[in-house]
Amino acid sequence: MANIAIWDGSSTFNSGSNPTPFGFYDTDPIFAADADKVSRFCAARLGYPLMDVELQSGSFYACFEESVTTYGNEVYLFKIRDNFLSLEATPTGSALNNTVISPNLGNMIRIAEDYGAEAGAGGFVNYRTGSFDLQNGKQIYDLDAWANASASLQPGDSIEIKEVFYQAPPAIVRYFDPYAGTGTGVQGLLETFGFGAYSPGVNFMMMPIYFDVQKIQAIELNDQIRKSAFSFNIVNNKLEIFPAPTDKPGTLFFRYISRMERGAPSKAPYSGSNMITNISNVPFNNPTYSQINAPGRQWVFLYTLALAKELLGYVRGKYTTVPIPGAETTLNQSDLLTDARTEKAALLEKLRGDLDEATRQKQLERRQAENVAMKSTFENVPLPIFIG
């Protein structure tokens, strides 16, 4: 095997020669300038020039590129987690790297619309109307059979009844004015309100409205106690109505929904190929290295060192011992790998902790604590007494 040159103490980053594996940042002049500095930094921390470092400039460049990418991944994954409720179901659009993401209620309203659909007050589920003719003396009607015969359903679908229009005639229809024809009234009391066709007597002397309310309540209470109540019961889409229909029972109307439509996992307009559906298609690109601040670059430098240390450990692990004149030397592969993995884990933990402290929730909690402390401080400031 030919001898392969190792680190000789210097390097020159040339973007035209594809120095990094992916080339994400090769054209960034700040990245190009820092690449050689980071190489010298890592080599010095690994013992050069007191001892050889069995790596090349390309090895340091690859570690540097991976460190910047890792930093960007951690930062942007944090942004995605902190804002995904506001991002989901929005267009993928252009990259969000330099965009301030404003919290909004869009997705919360979308979730609430599903509850609105159950209450018949919005949502994405269509309410359909059906009807069938009542039969004399028949109280139980199979609505599944009706759906199979009359509703346009997909195979395997079924209906869910939401509302049955089966109520007793309103009390105002049976309103009786005991004063009609007695001289105190000759027209329907509610003629002014459009109920004259139902109400047989109204006074020229206006009666208080609570009089009519009490009369209607008396009629409804009489129906509830002395008559069969107009009611119904549904079990497994078997509709049972009370009382039993009599001659010329008429038509019963109801509203229903499609269970398959209600259970559809995707509903318009929240579907399509250009929408954010999970964290993998939130439009964040790799970071721009020149825009990373000093604390961020310091993290990148140290993570690059940890990666280079790990890589050097793998290289030295090829041989446990190396013969030298008159003796053997043991390589430090185990120490390098242990230190590298520990440093990588510590750096990631620190970065994630810093990002967690920057969440919207933590910032608001800190602001609240500051306001409480400030208020407590101001309460101890003596107030001047004005004597006029």
Same domain flag for 127 and 220: yes
SS3 content of the chain, % helix, strand, coil (to 5): 45, 10, 40
Alpha carbon separation from 66 to 14, 111, 182 (Å, rounded): 18, 39, 99
Examine the pLDDT at 199 and tell me if it is beyond 50: no
pLDDT tens, 25-37? Answer: 999 999 999 999 9
- The residues, ordered by sequence, that sit 6+ positions from 60 with a Cβ below 8 Å of its Cβ are 7, 11, 35, 38, 39, 42, 43, 304, 308
Question: For position 197, what pLDDT does the model report?
Answer: 55
Same domain flag for 143 and 254: yes
Same domain flag for 42 and 139: no
Are 29 and 290 contacting, i.e. CB atoms less than 8 angstroms apart?
yes
Same domain flag for 238 and 354: no
In a domain, 5, yes or no: no
Name which residue leads in pLDDT, 21 or 172: 21
Examine the pLDDT at 326 and tell me if it is beyond 80: no
From CA 180, how far away is CA 203, in angstroms rounded?
A: 8
From CA 131, how far away is CA 152, in angstroms rounded?
A: 14
- The residues, ordered by sequence, that sit 6+ positions from 231 with a Cβ below 8 Å of its Cβ are 166, 241, 242
Same domain flag for 365 and 340: yes
- The residues, ordered by sequence, that sit 6+ positions from 304 with a Cβ below 8 Å of its Cβ are 38, 42, 60, 63, 64, 66, 67
Q: Which two tokens stand for residue 12?
A: 């020159």
Same domain flag for 295 and 169: no
Same domain flag for 257 and 347: no
Name which residue leads in pLDDT, 273 or 260: 260
Examine the pLDDT at 185 and tell me if it is beyond 50: no
From CA 268, how far away is CA 65, in angstroms rounded?
A: 42
Examine the pLDDT at 170 and tell me if it is beyond 50: yes
In a domain, 385, yes or no: no
**Residues facing 128 on adjacent strands:** 256
Question: For position 172, what pLDDT does the model report?
Answer: 67
From CA 107, how far away is CA 83, in angstroms rounded?
A: 11
Terminal-to-terminal C-alpha distance of the chain: 100
CA angle 235, 237, 239 (to 5 degrees): 75
In a domain, 181, yes or no: yes
- The residues, ordered by sequence, that sit 6+ positions from 288 with a Cβ below 8 Å of its Cβ are 28, 97
Same domain flag for 246 and 137: yes
Question: For position 226, what pLDDT does the model report?
Answer: 67
Same domain flag for 237 and 323: no
Q: Which of 74, 103, 89, 132 is nearest to 256 (CA)?
A: 132
**Residues facing 232 on adjacent strands:** 241
Burial of 210 (C-beta count, 10 Å sphere; 0-12/13-18/19+) = exposed
CA angle 37, 43, 49 (to 5 degrees): 115
Confidence of residue 306 (pLDDT cuts 50, 70, 90): very high
Question: For position 13, what pLDDT does the model report?
Answer: 94
Examine the pLDDT at 382 and tell me if it is beyond 60: yes
Per the document, the length of the chain is 388
Examine the pLDDT at 101 and tell me if it is beyond 80: yes
Put simply, whether the predicted model's pTM sits higher than 0.75 gets the answer no
Question: For position 329, what pLDDT does the model report?
Answer: 59
Domain that holds residue 122: 117-262
**Sequential DSSP letters for 347-366:** HHHHHHHHHHHTSHHHHHHH
* End-of-domain residue from the set 262, 291, 306: 262
In a domain, 66, yes or no: yes
Same domain flag for 218 and 250: yes
Cβ neighbours, 10 Å, residue 177: 22
Question: For position 188, what pLDDT does the model report?
Answer: 47
- The residues, ordered by sequence, that sit 6+ positions from 105 with a Cβ below 8 Å of its Cβ are none
Same domain flag for 157 and 257: yes
In a domain, 32, yes or no: yes
Task: Count up the domains in the chain and report the number.
Answer: 2
